Amino acid sequence: MFNKTHLVDKTVLLILAGRVINSLGGFVTIYFVLHYLNDKLQGHYYTFLNLIGFSVFFEFGLSTLIIQLISHHVRDTYFQKQRLVGPESSLNQFLTLVKNILVHAFFLAIFMALSLGVLGGILLEKSATLYLPWLLLVLVYCLSFFINTAINIIEGTGKINDVAIARMLSTLVSIPTLWLCLSSHLGVYALVIQAIANVITLSAWLLSQYGLFIRQALNQHISIKDFFSYLKSVFPLQKRLSVSFLSIYMGAQVYVPLMFALGQVELAGKLGVTLQAFNAINGFAITWINSKLALFGASISKGERLKVYAQFKSLFGTSLLVLILLLLILWTLFFALNQTNSPYLSRFLSAKYILLFSITAIGIHVYTSINTYLLSFKLDPLFKLNLLRIIFLFTSICVIYVLKEVSYIFGIYLINTVLIGMLGAIYVLHQFHTKILGKNEQ
């Protein structure tokens, strides 16, 4: 069994440090948004922020798939002075995989740019002045996706600590850049400039630390037959991952753009800033789980399924306690704002909705933890559940749009995250272990 000292090892500590910076930065960003943007601009800001999240569908789960693929194929190779070395056959096989992934990401980035550009054009049709910053954000974000693909490849090789440092550095550069832009009254262009700062920082790190490896991979010859063979091998899981990520997006981020489309710009801003606060908390708490995805995959490839399950249970218990503690702290902050009659409190949703989001935060955490754990097996047993969530959400969104009744959003959000998402994931996890691990191994 894994020793419990691994619950907060160097890897987790590094990623936690990055998440602390990111979460605290998120709360400071909320202050800058509330202080420097009016209600309408706040709505525009969070519409952009949530709409760009739709990119998770157009990347077809490649980010998660990369870590699984690389961690399962990296066995006999290792880094030496920025270059990958190892037995010739293993090295060629691995570099061919990396080159295929990079080519795949390049075409997906182009598809993503075209799709998000059209999607933004439809949603922002009545707000023509917002379309230029949207296009700029899409272009920079798609470039960022390609760069992050290379970084995810490096993470999959086991260089988790290096990648954690790089992402922490990126956060330390991009978040203050966002604050500076918001305080300069640049509005939604602040998101564009932040994305540019992120791309520059990560590119500089990638080229300085692993530039020779990237060049080594790009110089690897692959045939069209090799590439299509690779696509054929990854498409089944990628298709399932797309459904998984689309269900997550529709369950969490689609509501802000929906409110914007219905003309509720200020309410979209209130929902956006409230969701950002809860996302910052959940993003920090889930670190105990998602920081281990590559290690889970490597252990499973060695047949150590019981070992991984034991660690998952310990990590999940810790992360859930952290989430509950952070929720209590958040409620204390909201109470303090209320007691001091802060004008900023009116820019959030009311107390009853904050209570609802506290309940759904636990549901989201349980679902995300189970989803991450199960994906490390290179399987997607939550596929049918995610498909059910998409059908439910798509139907609900259509009803809301036709009836123009945005208040239904909150009940739908609760049903999707807790009754369908959390309880469904728990049931699937139990069935998965009964079938895959066996009753005696649970």
Q: Which two tokens stand for residue 18?
A: 């990055």
Per-residue model confidence (pLDDT) at position 437: 64
Compute the distance between CA of residue 160 and CA of residue 151 in angstroms, rounded to an integer: 10
Residue 86 has pLDDT above 80, yes or no: no
Mean pLDDT of 106-127: 87
Cα–Cα distance, 119 to 47 (Å, whole number):
12
pLDDT in tens, 329-355: 999 988 998 888 888 888 999 889 999
d(CA 238, CA 111): 15
Q: CA 187 to CA 127: how far, in whole Å?
A: 14
CA 306 and chain centroid, separation:
27
Whole-angstrom Cα Rg for the chain? 22
HSE (CB half, 13 Å, CA atoms) of 397? 19
Q: Judge whether residue 75 has pLDDT over 70.
A: no
Assessment of whether the complete model's pTM goes beyond 0.85: no
Contact 64, 47 (CB under 8 A): no
Instruction: Name the residue type at position 271.
Output: L
* CA dihedral over 334, 338, 344, 349, signed as positive or negative: positive
Q: Is the pLDDT of residue 34 over 50?
A: yes
| pLDDT of 11 | 60
Q: What is the rounded distance in angstroms from the CA atom of residue 176 to the CA atom of residue 170?
A: 10
- Which one is predicted more confidently, 19 or 141? 141
pLDDT for the residue 442:
44
User: What pLDDT score was predicted for residue 178?
Assistant: 95
Confidence of residue 50 (pLDDT cuts 50, 70, 90): confident
Residues 6+ apart with CB under 8 A from 314: 2, 4, 7
Q: Of the ranges 186-200, 220-234, 361-375, 413-427, which one carries the lowest mean pLDDT score?
A: 220-234
Residue 402 CB contacts under 8 Å (≥ 6 apart), including other chains: none
> What is the CB-side half-sphere exposure of residue 49 using CA atoms within 13 A?
26
CB distance 59 to 108 below 8 Å: yes
Least confident of 111-115, 357-361, 403-407: 403-407
The type of residue at 326 is: L
Which of left, alpha, beta for 60 (phi over 0: left; psi -120 to 50: alpha)?
left
The pLDDT assigned to 310 comes to 84
Q: Tens digits of per-residue pLDDT, 208-267?
A: 988 888 888 888 888 888 888 888 887 777 777 777 777 777 777 788 888 888 888 899
Region of poorest pLDDT, from 68-77, 189-198, 367-376: 68-77
In the chain, the percentage of residues whose pLDDT exceeds 90 is 31
For the ranges 32-46, 159-173, 234-248, the maximum mean pLDDT occurs at: 32-46
Residue 2 pLDDT level (bands cut at 50, 70, 90)? very low
Q: Measure the CA–CA gap between 357 and 83, rounded to whole angstroms.
A: 47
Residue pair 260/120 in contact (Cβ under 8 Å)? The answer is: no
**If you average pLDDT over every residue of the chain, what do you get?**
84
Q: Say if residues 238 and 61 touch (Cβ distance below 8 Å).
A: yes
Of the listed ranges 20-29, 239-248, 408-417, the least confidently predicted one is 239-248
